[in-house]
């Protein structure tokens, strides 16, 4: 079992920024799919 050194404040901030960016990308894709289905349903009627 390996032990890792604790992260510095800069490393924690970088990981948080990366996680936030990833979450926003996935949320944007999900929202685009949601809007796309609504638009397709409206056009089909």
DSSP output for the chain: ----PPPPHHHHHHHHHHHHHHHHHHHHHHHHHHHHHHHHHHHH-
CB–CB of 15/7 below 8 Å? yes
Q: How far is CA 43 from the centre of its chain?
A: 29
Is the pLDDT assigned to residue 15 strictly greater than 80?
yes
pLDDT value of residue 21: 98
pLDDT band (50, 70, 90) for residue 36: very high
Which pTM value belongs to this model? 0.71
Is the pLDDT assigned to residue 37 strictly greater than 60?
yes
């Amino acid at each position: 079992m390996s032990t890792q050194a604790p992260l510095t404040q800069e490393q924690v901030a970088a990981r948080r920024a990366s996680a936030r960016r990833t979450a926003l990308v996935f949320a944007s894709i999900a929202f685009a799919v949601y809007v796309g289905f609504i638009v397709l349903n409206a056009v089909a009627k």
